Amino acid sequence: MSGAKLKAELPGGPPSSPPRPRRASWLLAVGCVALFAFFQFAARFPFSFRHMCGLEPASPAGICPQSTSIAPEKNAALWNELTALHSTDAFLKRAAAQLSAAVQIPTETYDAMGPVGEDPRWESRGPFVEHLATAFPLVHGALDLQKVNTYGLVYTWQGSDASLKPILLMGHYDVVPVAPLSADQWTHPAYSGHFDGEYIWGRGSTDDKSGVIGILTAIEVLLEKNFAPTRTVVLSFGFDEEASGYHGAAYLADALLERFGRNAFAMIVDEGAGFDEQFGAIFAAPGVAEKGYVDVTVQVQTPGGHSSIPPEHTSIGILAAMIVHLENTAPPPVLEVGTPPFDMAQCFAAHGPEMPRPLKRAILRAEKSKHALKKAEQTLLRDRAFRALVATTQPVDIVNGGVKSNALPEQAMAVINHRISTQNSVNATISRDRDVLLDLAAHFNLSVTAYGESLTSAEDAAAASGSLTLTAPGGLEPAPITSSTAAPYHILAGTIRATLNATYGEEMKDVFVTPGMMTGNTDTRWMWDLSEHIFRYGHWNGGLGMIHTVNERMEAHSFVGVITFITTLILNVDETAF
C-alpha cells in the first residue's frame, strides 16, 4: 500500500482497534531497541560475522583483485597521439582496408596435408606472405624476418637493452575451409573482404588474420612515429594452426628455442577470447590455461559374410552399443577450487552485479564450504559453455563401417575427440575409455588390444568372435597454468583496462579482468618451453560464436581496438622491468 493511499484513508479512519495491552507495547519497544542495537553491532563487526548470520554474501575482499589501469608514462605523449589517431574515421578505414586485403587471399588448411614442398595446397600461403611485404613496408625494412619451413614467419624488432627478456606476440594466418554447400549462404562472399562501414566480412576476419594484421599494423604505425623499442619484440606467425600447427608452430617453436633459449621470453601473447558482458559487467578473460587433447579410435572387427545370414550383432551394431555406453557413462564434470574455471566464476561473482544472489553467495562461499561448492557447481554446469570448460569432453566425431548393403561389415570404427580438463591427463582419459569398454567387449566375446597392449590371452583370443582395438596416437597434456599473481599477468591486465578506457571512455570505466581459458587449443601448445607466462587473448568484443562458420566478420571499431591494445602493450612492456 502506498503512503499516498494510506494518508487518503486516514481522515475517515478505519474502525478503531482495541487498545494494545501495556505489556505488549513494552515488549515491542524492547524488541525494536534490541534489533537496532544488533544491526549497529553487526555493522561494526567483521564482514564475515554478518555473512555468518546470513545478512549478506561472503566478502569479495581478496577474490579476483584487479590490477590498476596501466598506461605508458615515459611514452605518454606518443601513446596519447596514437590513441587519438586510432579514434579517427580515416584510421578506421585504413585498418579495415588492411584486414580486408588479407581476407581476400585464401589460405585454407585441411586435415592430413602432406609435407611442405610436396602437398601443393600449401602454396596458397605464398601470395599472402608476398602481400605482407608490400602492405607493411616499414615493418619489413626495420625488422629482421626469418622464414621457417617456408611459410612460418618470425619477425624480430631488436631492442636497445639486451638485459630485458623479449616478448613474443603470436598469430596464425591460415583459415578453415569454406564448405562448398554453404558458400551461397554468406551475406558477402567468403573471400570478398567486404567492408560495409561497420564490419569486415570473410573467412579469417576474426580467426586469426585480425590478430596478425593487427600486430603488423600497430608496429607499422609505431615505426611511422620513429619509435625504437628498448625491449626486443618478436613476432611468430603460423600457417597451419587449424590443423594443430604440426608444420607451422611446431617448427617455429624449435627455431625460437634454438635462437633464444629456454624460458627466454618475458611473456607470450597469442590469439584468444576477448571481452564481453557477463552478469551486468564487462569482463576481459585472457587465457591462462588450455585443455589437453587426444583422439581415441575405437575399432571393432568381426567376420564378414552375406547379409542374408547375419549374426545377432554386426561390427556396426557392436560399435553403436559401445558409443552409447561411452556417452551414457561420460566422466562427470567437477568444479574444483583453484582451477581457471573456478577462478573465473569467482570473478564474475565478486564483480558481476546482476549475478543471481543465491549463485553469488554459493560461489563466494565455495572456497571454504563443500556444500556451497556443490551448489555453485550444480548451477554453473547447467550452462553448456561453462560445462565444456570444466569437463573432459568426449564427442564421437567420426564413424565408419561397411562397404556394401548386402555384405556384413567386417570392421567399424569411431573417433572420439577428447578435450581434457586442466586437472586430468591423457593417460587417465584413454585408460578410462579402455575400462569403460572392457565389459562390453567381454559381453560380445571380443579380444581386446588397447594402445598396443594385448589384454586377452592367446587361448581366449582364439575363441573370440571378433576383436576390439583402441588406439590413441599423440595426445596433448593440459597446458601449464600461467600465474595470475605474477608481474606479466598484472601488466597484461593493466594494459587491457587502459586500452578499453582509452577506446570506450566512461563506458568501460569499470571493466574487470579475470583469468580465463578457452575450450580449444592454440599454437601456444608448442611454446611451453619458451616462457612460463603464456596468455591467449584477442582483445575483440564478443564471444567466439562467429568463427569457423558462415558470415564470419570483424567489427571495424573492435579491430581498431586490437591495434590499440597491441600498441599499448608494446609501449608498456618497453618501460617496465620484469
Rounded to the nearest 10 degrees, the angle between the axes of helix 556-574 and helix 209-224 is 60
Tell me if 270 is assigned to a ligand binding site.
Answer: yes
**Among this protein's residues, is 241 annotated catalytic?**
yes
The answer to whether 172 is a known ligand-binding residue is yes
Catalytic position from the list 240, 241, 271, 343:
241
The neighbouring-strand residues paired with 278 are: 281
Distances (CA, A) of 158 to 165, 226, 566: 11, 14, 17
Of the candidates 329, 333, 327, 450, the residue with the CA atom closest to the CA atom of residue 395: 327
Name the grid cell of 520: 580449444
Q: Is 450 helix (H, G, I), strand (E, B) or coil?
A: strand
- SS3 of 508-552: HCCCEECCEEECCCCHHHHCCCCCCCEEECCCCECCCCCCCCCCC
Using alpha carbons, select from 208, 94, 199, 206 the residue that is nearest to residue 556. 199
First and final C-alpha spacing in the chain? 63
DSSP letter, residue 175: B
Among 475, 462, 485, 466, CA closest to 521: 475
Is 548 annotated to bind a ligand? Reply is: yes
Q: What is the DSSP letter of 266?
A: S
CA 376, chain centre distance (Å): 21
Torsion of CA 65, 71, 73, 75, to 10 degrees: 150
Judge whether 324 and 501 are in contact, CB under 8 Å: no
Active site residue 174: yes
In 3D space, the residue among 276, 392, 389, 275 whose CA is nearest the CA of residue 332 turns out to be 392
∠ CA 534-427-327, rounded to 5°: 100
Mapping DSSP to helix (H, G, I), strand (E, B) and coil, where does residue 428 land? helix
529: annotated binding-site residue? Answer: no
Long-range contacts of 331-335 (CB under 8 A, 24+ apart): 331/391, 331/392, 331/394, 331/432, 332/391, 333/381, 333/387, 333/390, 333/391, 333/392, 333/421, 334/377, 334/390, 334/423, 335/366, 335/373, 335/376, 335/377, 335/380, 335/381, 335/390
Q: Other CB atoms closer than 10 Å to residue 14's CB: what's the count?
A: 7
Three-class DSSP category at 367: coil
Q: Residue 91: helix, strand or coil by DSSP? A: helix
Give the annotated binding-site residues: 172, 207, 242, 270, 548
As annotated, the active-site residues are 174, 241
Annotated binding site for Zn(2+): 172, 207, 242, 270, 548
